[in-house]
Amino acid sequence: MPNELFRSLPSVERMLTTSTATRLSVELGRDRVRDILREIIEDLRQEISAGSRQISVEQDSGAGDLADVMAATVERELTERAKIAATPSLRRVINATGVVIHTNLGRAPLAKAALDAMSEVSSHYSNLEYDLELGERGRREVHCQRLIARLAGAESAIVANNNAAAVLLVLNTLAQSGEVIVSRGELIEIGGSFRIPEVMEKSGARLREVGTTNRTRIEDYANAITGDTRLIMRVHPSNYRIVGFTSRPSVEEVAELANRADIPSFEDLGSGCLIDLTPYGVVDEPVVAKSIEAGISVVSFSGDKMLGGPQAGIIAGTDSIISRVRRNPLMRALRVDKMTYSALEATMRLYERGVAQSEVPVVRAIAASAEELASRAESFARLLEQRTSFLARLRDGRSVVGGGSAPGVLLKTTLVAVSHARLTADSIASALRRHKIPVIARVEDGELVIDLRTVRQDEETVIIDALAATVSAGLSQEVAAAARDV
């Protein structure tokens, strides 16, 4: 029998002529399809050797001889594997976790205006480094410069690849071989192993720690100033809070001390809130313009956290500091491309026009009211129960801002707790992740919970379809049977 099976294996070249292979070659390229066929046939060969592949020709199936059955098996397998091969590695997912700036899920989704601008600029030639007035070479740094400066209330601005790069650039530009005074309470590590002391070391600046973990006074800074001091740095402790017996000088006090000593001051703001979000319950997130107004010489913040734009590190400050940063050779290594400039500019214009609350997805998600979320959850639950065999129960819950921003802030929401008589919460969650458009949801106390705060309205039906598919695809025979009864 094994010999017969081996003989019935089709050749790669023959399989390449089938209509399935021809069709898939258009999508994947002929070489890729050939490689997949080679793998399939090799796998079959090994299964036959191991005796684990049983293939029989049913008398009444009309399937023809063994070779035909084998070819059909290979063709079926080819379709399956081609589907996996054609799936991009980086894909869209639906964020049903309620974590607004989810670092693992790509942080901020972009506003429509940002996408349009990016597509327009990137699918054509652009004036990235061309001065249209003068008809000669221009500088890319000019593109968002005035807009950022205006929104931050600063003299000038420049954009780097991300805020980690921005911090490195500022420290290297202003403090290489000198000392930077930082409070011990602000020597933070944020996700992705960004640690202030380590970035400081790489920048060539020396860290001068002052104060204690929970309390630092302005005199601690003052007493640490020497002839080697190049910069006083303040860091927004984004992802953690020291509570209890604590104190830290105000931004005004730090700025004033630095000005008196004729030393520049720098604040790493982390998130980069351009507008006051306290009406929505986001307290503790500093607004960029406030720091500049307080007299800080230069600030930096992320483009894709609270601001809701593309990945970028924005530096805003005095003319003289920004031009020094611009001339730093590191700038060439850390600069951004045209896609970032266009998306950032378009996003910032939404702030300028005062429509960020409705147009910037991150801000819109944060600003969504408890009433709006409750009513969406209600209709979602109703629709889900109508269309599937799932049970949907509403629960009071809390969404978080995430992305290392506003750690203590909990935004009131209504959760949809989804359960099924035959499925565990973990198995539903795992099936949702394997959906065509993967859906990421939380499992809490043995229940799958969906927070619609981070779900776009038009994504709700996708989630319902995904849940329906979870049942009908059948995680087990029993489940498939149960679903048919519904």
Residues at the site binding ligand PLP, with contacts judged by CB under 6 A = 162-164, 167, 190, 194, 235-236, 238, 268, 270, 302, 313, 404
What is the CB neighbour count within 10 angstroms for residue 411? Answer: 24
Smaller CB separation from ligand PLP, 233 or 415: 233
Of 168 and 441, CB closest to ligand PLP = 168
Residue 362 near residue 306, CB atoms below 8 Å: yes
For residue 383, which amino acid is it? Answer: L
Name the helix (H) or strand (E) containing 333.
helix 330-334
The pairing of beta strand 179-183 with beta strand 206-210: parallel
CB of 106 to ligand PLP, least distance (A): 12
| Other beta carbons within 10 Å of 127 | 13
* Shortest CB 152 distance to ligand PLP, Å: 16
Q: By C-beta, is 8 or 163 nearer to ligand PLP?
A: 163
Shortest spacing between CB 144 and ligand PLP, in angstroms: 16
Q: Return the number of the residue (109 or 270) whose C-beta is nearest ligand PLP.
A: 270
What is the phi/psi pair of residue 373, to 5°? -70, -35
Tell me whether residue 95 or residue 163 sits nearer to ligand PLP (CB atom).
163
Q: How far apart are CA 455 and CA 94, in angstroms?
A: 7
Please name which of 361, 356, 268, 275 lies closest in space to residue 313, comparing C-alpha atoms. 268
Helices of type H across 123-176:
142-152, 163-175
User: In this complex, which beta carbon is closest to ligand PLP, that of residue 195 or of residue 382?
Assistant: 195
- Taking the complex as a whole, the smallest distance from the CB of residue 423 to ligand PLP amounts, in Å, to 37
User: Using CB atoms, what's the residue nearest to ligand PLP?
Assistant: 270
Beta bridge pairs of residue 51 = none
CB of 188 to ligand PLP, least distance (A): 6
> Whole-angstrom Cα distance, residue 339 to residue 349?
16
Shortest CA distance to 313 belongs to which of 288, 291, 277? 288
Identify which of residues 167 and 362 has a Cβ nearer to ligand PLP in the complex: 167
Residue 30 CA to its chain's centroid (Å): 34
CB-wise, 233 or 322, nearer to ligand PLP?
A: 233
C-alpha distances in angstroms, 447 versus 74, 114, 435, 442? 40, 37, 19, 8
Nearest to ligand PLP of 302, 328 (CB atom): 302
Q: At which residue do the structure tokens 């709006």 appear?
A: 372
β-strand pairing of 447-451 with 405-419 = antiparallel
Minimum CB distance to ligand PLP, residue 167 (Å): 6
Q: Could you give the CA distance from residue 86 to residue 84 in angstroms, rounded to a whole number?
A: 5
Nearest to 208 by CA among 226, 235, 230, 181: 181
Could you tell me the smallest distance in angstroms from the CB atom of residue 277 to ligand PLP? 16
Identity of the residue numbered 351? Y
The distance of closest approach from Cβ of residue 303 to ligand PLP in the complex, given in angstroms and rounded to an integer, is 7
User: How far apart are CB 422 and ligand PLP at their closest, in Å?
Assistant: 42
